[in-house]
């Protein structure tokens, strides 16, 4: 990346190092978080499909491609110098590329009802999947700050199911009105049982 930055600045002296880094990042993840030909469309159709597959499959197979894509985006993000955080945060697609999958991972790990214990809060996730979540969280905090993260965390926790679905003859009989987690649990309890409480400081990533 350093060689690429130097080349861009050399050909256009008006560019700053951060602008050069941002341009390289945008080119490297065009197929992931931009639409075709670099059009800004949030996620590309390919990644939107990966998100849908992860939601529907809710398992290693369904989420494999999405997690692989996210690891690539995280590798690119971590190459940024912290002095360029403001430039990176100003790219709207970057927020979506971190926020949406992070919320999805919390929902997938939580499942259709509150986890029975803190040991169950990871669902089917492997250690590498939890480490990916921690990378997303770290990047979000670095770019947008603690207050933005707290607001996002509370919003996601408000969507989590608070009771299990019940089925009669194969049809969910309470899915339209079953309670959300905040109706039956305190914010502290929800946080403790969710992926948000993962001990990221002890993760190796």
Locate the domains of the chain by residue range. Answer: 44-202
Region 70-89 average pLDDT:
87
What does the pLDDT look like over 5-20, one tens digit per residue?
A: 444 444 555 668 888 8
The count of other CB atoms within 10 Å of the CB of residue 194 is 22
Whose CA is closest to 30, among 81, 69, 64, 83? Answer: 69
pLDDT at 62 over 70: yes
Residue 158 pLDDT exceeds 60: yes
Q: Which residues contact 8 (CB under 8 A, 6 or more apart)?
A: 15, 20, 23, 24
pLDDT of residue 43: 67
pTM: 0.84
**Pick the residue with more confidence: 5 or 130?**
130
- For the record, the structure tokens of 40 come out as 């800004």
For the chain, what percent of residues have pLDDT higher than 90? 47
38 falls in which pLDDT band (50, 70, 90)? very low
**Where does the pLDDT of residue 34 fall: very low under 50, low under 70, confident under 90, or very high at 90 and above?**
low
Confidence of residue 142 (pLDDT cuts 50, 70, 90): very high
Q: Which residue has the higher pLDDT, 71 or 94?
A: 71
84-93 long-range Cβ contacts below 8 angstroms, 24+ apart:
84/17, 84/18, 84/21, 84/22, 85/142, 85/143, 86/18, 87/18, 87/19, 87/21, 87/22, 88/21, 88/22, 88/25, 88/143, 89/143, 89/144, 91/22, 91/26, 92/40, 93/33, 93/34, 93/40, 93/42
Work out the percent of the chain whose per-residue pLDDT is above 70. 86
pLDDT of 32 higher than 80: no
Query: Which has the higher per-residue pLDDT, 3 or 110?
Result: 110
* The two structure tokens encoding residue 26: 């945008």
Q: Which of 17-21, 82-86, 88-92, 180-184 tops mean pLDDT?
A: 180-184
> CA–CA separation, 41 vs 23, rounded Å?
17
Residue 107: CB atoms within 10 A of its CB come to: 21
With b meaning 16 or more CB within 10 Å and e meaning fewer, what string describes 123-139? bebeeebbbbbbbbbbb
């Amino acid at each position: 990346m350093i060689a690429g930055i130097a080349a861009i600045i050399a050909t256009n002296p008006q560019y700053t190092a951060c602008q050069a880094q941002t341009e390289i990042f945008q080119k490297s993840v065009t197929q992931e978080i931009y639409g075709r030909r670099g059009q800004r469309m949030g996620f590309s159709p390919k990644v939107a499909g990966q998100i849908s597959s992860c939601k529907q499959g809710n398992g290693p197979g369904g989420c494999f491609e999405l997690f692989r894509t996210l690891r690539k985006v995280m590798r690119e993000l971590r190459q940024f110098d912290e002095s360029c955080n403001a430039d990176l945060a100003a790219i709207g697609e970057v927020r979506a590329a971190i926020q949406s999958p992070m919320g999805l991972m919390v929902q997938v790990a939580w499942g259709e009802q509150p986890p029975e214990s803190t040991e169950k809060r990871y669902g089917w996730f492997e250690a590498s999947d939890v480490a990916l979540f921690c990378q997303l969280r770290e990047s979000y905090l670095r770019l947008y700050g603690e207050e933005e993260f707290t607001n996002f965390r509370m919003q996601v926790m408000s969507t989590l199911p608070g009771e299990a679905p019940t089925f009669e003859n194969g049809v969910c009989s309470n899915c339209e009105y079953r309670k959300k987690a905040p109706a039956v649990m305190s914010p502290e309890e929800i946080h403790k049982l969710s992926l948000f409480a993962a001990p990221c400081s002890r993760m190796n990533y």
